[in-house]
Amino acid sequence: MLRSPICDLLGIKYPVFQGAMAWIADADLAAAVSNAGGLGIIAGGSAPVDIIRQQVRKCRTLTDKPFAVNIMLMSPAAPDIAQMVVEEKVPVVTTGAGSPAKYMAAWQGAGIKVIPVIPSSGIAKSVERYGAVAVVAEGGESGGHVGDLTTMALVPQVVDAVTIPVLAAGGIGDGRGMAAAFMLGASGVQMGTRFLVAKECNVNPVYKQKIIAAKDIDTIATGKRLGHPVRGLKTAFSRRFFEMEYDPTVSNEDLEKFGEGALQAAAIRGDEEHGAFMAGQIAGLVKQEQTCAEIIEETVGEAEALLKGAGKWVV
């Protein structure tokens, strides 16, 4: 049985979080992950607060297990969602794409456990000071908004920088990645891309098929020029975006405009022409649609066997 302090801290069976994927991770996916023993996470993304409030209420009808809401701090709706999680007594909040410092006191006062997703040990230390109960250290292998460091380099440095539990994210798609994360000092993992193809994930089927067809070299990080690079599958859209960002005649405003609505186009409509299919570098490991329970049991089972057998290397 693979257990860690994060299981007791949150009241979950397995130290596995489902990554928050904007426009994708809804109540159905989050509840399925939580029912399977992990921590399901509803993605706030850039959706309006009422949509996310409905998802929280729906999630409660689907599971009696702990679940989380992720607040994407660059979203204009972030302040409203920050208030909503207090009103709805959401047990766990994760944050991304910025520092949650200004909300921490209110969340702690409401008894919410806060677990920021962070890209460096400096930011990890800062959120620990503000009262985070754990952090997710996310390397640039992940899908979506990415930091500079790789998971391999980031996780042990964050583990050394803080005393709270650290979960590893970015580049983890199976039990080998999970076992490696524990070897780096992590107390759990977060996976996004692997759960994107879950049976309970309502993303457009075209998106799932593209992940299943992807190889290791099929993702690209675009938008570095805008200060927030985003990793997704190589498509006509992302190649065009990449060209535009290195074209000095294209303004940042034009670039932002070109990218607007692209994630929705991919996730909701499966639009191959205009969609941004965010995905992590492990997309090439993802071979089939499975239930959340199958994904979690398989990943944890593989990790347990590898960790148990690791002594074979020491003679």
Q: Is residue 158 within the footprint of ligand TUI (CB under 6 A)? A: no
Stretch that binds ligand TUI, among 60-68, 91-99, 152-160, 205-213 (CB under 6 A): 91-99
State both tokens at 55.
Answer: 């998802």
Rounded distance between C-alpha atoms, residue 96 and residue 196, angstroms: 18
Q: Is residue 154 within the footprint of ligand TUI (CB under 6 A)? A: no
Rounded distance between C-alpha atoms, residue 78 and residue 260, angstroms: 18
Q: Which of 228, 240, 257, 308 binds ligand TUI (CB under 6 A)?
A: 228
In the complex with ligand TUI, the residue whose CB is nearer, 145 or 210, is 145
Q: Which of 13, 63, 86, 97 binds ligand TUI (CB under 6 A)?
A: 97
Taking a C-beta distance cutoff of 8 angstroms, is the pair 187, 6 a contact? yes
Give the number of residues in contact with ligand TUI, rule: CB under 6 A: 18
State both tokens at 233.
Answer: 């599958």
Q: Which of 38, 44, 144, 156 binds ligand TUI (CB under 6 A)?
A: 144
Q: Is residue 230 within the footprint of ligand TUI (CB under 6 A)? A: yes
Closest residue to ligand TUI, based on beta-carbon distance: 144
User: Among residue numbers 104 through 143, which ones bind ligand TUI (CB under 6 A)?
Assistant: 117-119, 123, 138
Q: Is residue 200 within the footprint of ligand TUI (CB under 6 A)? A: no
Backbone angles phi, psi at 288, to 5 degrees: -160, 160
> Would you give the distance in Å from CA 95 to the centre of its chain?
10
In angstroms, give the least distance from the CB of 22 to ligand TUI: 5
Q: Which run of H or of E encompasses 222?
A: strand 219-222
**AA letter at 104:** M
Q: Is residue 192 within the footprint of ligand TUI (CB under 6 A)? A: no
Look at the block and give the residue holding tokens 């599958």: 233
For 13-91, where are the alpha helices, taking DSSP H only?
A: 27-35, 49-62, 78-87
In the complex with ligand TUI, the residue whose CB is nearer, 193 or 299, is 193
Q: Is residue 180 within the footprint of ligand TUI (CB under 6 A)? A: no
**AA letter at 308:** K
In angstroms, give the least distance from the CB of 37 to ligand TUI: 24
Judged on CB neighbours under 10 Å (0-12, 13-18, 19+), 297 is middle
Q: Which of 44, 147, 175, 232 binds ligand TUI (CB under 6 A)?
A: 147
State both tokens at 287.
Answer: 């071979």
Backbone angles phi, psi at 96, to 5 degrees: -150, 165
Q: Applying CB under 6 A, which residues contact ligand TUI?
A: 22, 45, 72, 74, 96-99, 117-119, 123, 138, 144-145, 147, 228, 230
